[in-house]
Amino acid sequence: MGKLTSKLPTVARIFLGLIFFVFGLNGFLHFLPQPPPPPAAGALFGAFVASGFMLPLIKGTEVLVGALLLGGRFVPLGLAMLAPITVNIVAFHAFLAPKGIGLALFVLALHGYLAWSYRAAYAPMLRARVTPGAEAEPAPEGHTVAATA
């Protein structure tokens, strides 16, 4: 593996962490101006705000996981926590607010690349049958979880 290739997961992790940390904080502090959304997107966003819990839950998760990614801690868990948020960001922009689809697809690409990079960490939970309380089997030869700084 070349020098550049070995650094790509770290670069992707930092970019994804920054995106979620900054946009998550913006959900609380409103330091980035937002253009008015299309009507359907505004209605959905308004429902999230009106619920009283959904927007803080989503934005709080984004801040927490963004910090974990930036710190390089619990990366596979953080990626799993972000998966439904990433899917909804892409769907939101694909169907309701197409102007932001570029950043949404960039986030999806980073997320997919990192999930692939950490695939060995997901192998135990992707087994069809697992006995509760059983120790996880070691990863197959050549499929180790690489530690990245």
Q: Which residues of 26-38 are buried (b: 16+ CB within 10 A; e: fewer)?
A: bbeeeeeeeeebe
> What is the pLDDT at residue 101?
97
Q: Could you tell me the two tokens for 128?
A: 């069809």
Give the mean pLDDT per block of 10 residues along the chain (149 residues).
85 98 97 93 94 96 98 98 98 95 98 97 90 73 53
> What is the pLDDT at residue 148?
46
Q: What are the structural domain ranges in the chain? A: 3-125
> What is the pLDDT at residue 134?
78
Q: Is the CB of residue 24 less than 8 Å from the CB of residue 66?
A: yes
> What is the pLDDT at residue 67?
98
